Amino acid sequence: MGSDRTPTDPAVTEALWSQLAERAAEMVGVAYAPYSRVHVGAAALVDDGRIVTGCNVENASTGLGICAEVNLTGALVSSGGGRLVALSVLAGDQQPIMPCGRCRQFLYEFGGDELLVATSEGVLTLGQLLPHAFGPGDVSARAD
Ligand code: THU
């Protein structure tokens, strides 16, 4: 997958988007969300072809809940790393849910501007969802 990915990149086929949605839906089914009752599942294609997943995990100490996408990045790292290429995030109604701000930042670390995200508005790049992002390059550029 090249460095010029666009929302209509043919490299991510309809069959692949369906597979990601299927895996995200499985994650919705195991999400731990007894407090908000918003069950979220995420699945992403990695640049080596594997698929990583995550679900939200809430806590009795309300503010400590972890989003599905953040857990997905943990699964990415713990299963060998790589770059995220395409992402599906679904809620309990099986419709796409927009990644929250913190999730966009986590996703940026591992997918950058080019990560493709299936949203209710169609496939968007993470660059469109998180323009002018602060990323790893900014840390090295600004460190003393
Ligand atoms: N949630 C996610 O898992 N991902 C998002 O991008 C948005 C929100 C979760 C957090 C919380 O457990 C529930 O959805 C309601 O906010």
Distance of CA 96 to the CA centre of its chain: 11
pTM value? Answer: 0.94
Tokens of 110: 């591992």
Residues of the chain with pLDDT below 50 are: 1-3
User: 114 catalytic, yes or no?
Assistant: no
The single residue of 14, 22, 58, 69 carrying the catalytic annotation is 69
What's the confidence (pLDDT) of residue 11? 77
Minimal-distance CA residue to ligand 1 atom 10: 67
Residue 125's DSSP bridge partners are 116
Q: What is the pLDDT of residue 113?
A: 98
pLDDT of residue 43: 98
Q: Please name which of 111, 134, 77, 78 lies closest in space to residue 1, comparing C-alpha atoms.
A: 111
Give the list of residues 6+ apart from residue 141 with CB closer than 8 angstroms, or none. Answer: none
- CATH homologous superfamily for 14-142? Cytidine Deaminase, domain 2 (3.40.140.10)
Per-residue model confidence (pLDDT) at position 33: 98
Q: Return the best residue to mutate from 27, 40, 61, 108 for the ligand 1 pocket (most ligand atoms within 8 A of CB).
A: 40
d(CA 15, CA 23): 12
- pLDDT by residue (tens digit) across 40-53? 999 999 999 999 99
Domain boundaries, the chain: 14-142
